[in-house]
Structure 1
Amino acid sequence: MTGQVTTVDGRVAGRRGQATRQKLLDNLGKMLGSSPYRDVRVIDVARKAGTSPATFYQYFPDVEAAVLEIAGEAVQDSAALSDLVTERSWTGRAAAESAEGLVDGFLAFWRKHDAILRVIDLGAAEGDRRFVRLRTKVLGAVTKPLTGTMEEMQAKGRFDKELTPAAVAGSLVSMLASVAAQPKALQTLGAKQTDLKPALVHLVHLGITGKKPAR
């Protein structure tokens, strides 16, 4: 945790207070992985952290505020996803490795933040603008650089001129997010876990380059 941390009433928290605050966030994050977001109560978070509800309220006005704090941390981490696009080559044989790297990196990010990303998806689906903005930032970390890459390729005649880069990029990233969010549901439909990654790599490569990955 970096930067100055303040309590709800504006006081600057010392090291001990910062540690307590982080412990509350860590335990809330764990609870979101096993309990529905709406069922999480302040008293339960405080008990898990070995403190009291009064202490919780020193740092957060309610559970939702703490949830948004955790969501903000996930958004910060998502910024690194841009490198999975901009730091790689999307031409020739190297494009296959780039597609695999993008899929691996995106799925790893989703696994790391799975619990809070599910909460963000729920809030966004309900129309909460705060969660809509958070989801847009997460997906935008890949969609924006991918759009730029496709626009550059299109200018060089390497991307179908009849397609809109932003639409293709948004569709590919939404696909990655959907698969990452519900692998178990896909398995019940016959898609084995081991088959999902190769399928995603194939589709990402095809969507960006217009060609099947070279073997």
Structure 2
Amino acid sequence: MTGQVTTVDGRVAGRRGQATRQKLLDCLGKMLGSSPYRDVKVIDVARKAGTSPATFYQYFPDVEAAVLELADGVVRESAELSELLTGRSWAGRAGGAAAEELVEGVLTFWRKHDAILRVIDLGAAEGDRRFVRLRTRVQGAVVKPLAETIEAERGRGRATAPEATPTALAASLVTMLAAASAQPKSLQALGAKQGDLRPALALLVHLGVTGRKPAAK
């Protein structure tokens, strides 16, 4: 953890306090992976972290505040997703590789942070503006550079579907990837095996960016 960390009452936390605060966040993150967000109680988080509710309240006024802290961390990490599109060529076989790596990178990120991203989606769906802003920032880390990539491909005369704006196409593709990542069991129950899903998603991404199927390997 870097930077100055303060308690609820404004005191600067020392190294031990920072470690305790981080342990509470780590335990909360694990609990969100197995329990519905609103079923998680302060006493349960504190017990799992081996401390007391009073200690929890030194660092967070409630569970929601701690959840938002976890969500902020995911948002900061999501900024690295833009690197999946930096300096990539979408011509020939390189385009197929770019699509595959984008799919793999986005799916890996969404599955790594599945628990907190589900909470963000829930809050956003309920109209909580804080969670709407968080989801927008996570998605924007991929949507913005992907839209720029589509725009650049159109400038080279390689993309089709002029009736769809680059941003709309990029947002649709990112939404598709996020949904596929969040629903692996239901998709598998429908017959879409995980091993078949990635190449299918990469095909759709390549089509969306270039207007063509990937070159044969």
Provide the TM-score with structure 2 as the length reference: 0.97
- In the TM superposition, what are the counterparts of 1:114-133 in structure 2 within 5 Å? 114-133=114-133
Q: CA deviation at 1:93?
A: 1.4
Distance in 2 between the 1:87 and 1:151 partners?
Answer: 14
Identity %: 76
Structure 1 range deviating more: 36-45 or 122-131: 122-131
- What are the Cα deviations for residues 101-129 of structure 1, in whole angstroms up to 9, with x where unaligned? 00111111112111101111111111111
Moved over 2 A (4+): 160-163
Q: Give a deviation string over 1:145-197, Cα, whole Å, max 9, x none.
A: 01111112212222223331111101000000010111111111121121111
Give the whole-Å Cα distance in 1 for the aligned partners of 2:180 and 2:117. 13
Contact residue 29 and residue 70 of structure 2 kept, 8 A: yes
The answer to whether the 8 A contact 2:123-2:131 is kept is: yes
Q: Where does the alignment leave 5 or more consecutive residues of structure 2 unmatched?
A: none
- Counterpart CA distance in 2 for 1:55 and 1:79 is 32
What CA deviation, in whole Å up to 9, does each residue of 1:75-104 have, x standing for no partner? 111000001012311122100000010011
Structure 1 counterpart of 2:114, which letter? D
1:17-49 CA-partner distances (Å, limit 9, x unpaired):
000000000000000000000000000000000
Residues 184-193 or 27-36, more deviating: 184-193
Is 1:141 matched with 2:144? no
Say which is worse superposed, 184-193 or 101-110, in terms of deviation: 184-193
Worse overlay, 150-159 or 117-126: 150-159
| Separation in structure 2 between the aligned mates of residue 195 and residue 92 of structure 1, nearest angstrom | 22
Between 153-162 and 15-24, the greater mean CA deviation after superposition = 153-162
* Structure 1: 5+ residue stretches without partners: none
Confirm whether residue 207 of structure 1 aligns to residue 208 of structure 2.
Answer: yes
Secondary structure, aligned partner of 2:92: coil
- 1:174 matched to 2:175: yes
Q: Which moved more, 1:196-205 or 1:14-23?
A: 196-205
Q: How many residues of Structure 1 are paired with residues of Structure 2 in the alignment?
A: 215
Query: What amino acid maps onto 2:97 in structure 1?
Result: E
CA contact (8 A) 2:24 2:56 kept: yes
Q: Does 1:56 align with 2:49?
A: no
Alpha-carbon distance in structure 1 between the residues aligned to 2:194 and 2:152: 34
Letter of the aligned partner of 1:117 in structure 2? L
User: What is the root-mean-square deviation of aligned Cα atoms in Å?
Assistant: 0.9
Match of 2:158 in 1: 158
**Equivalent-residue separation in structure 2 for 1:16 and 1:201 (angstroms):** 46
- Number of the residue aligned with 1:8: 8
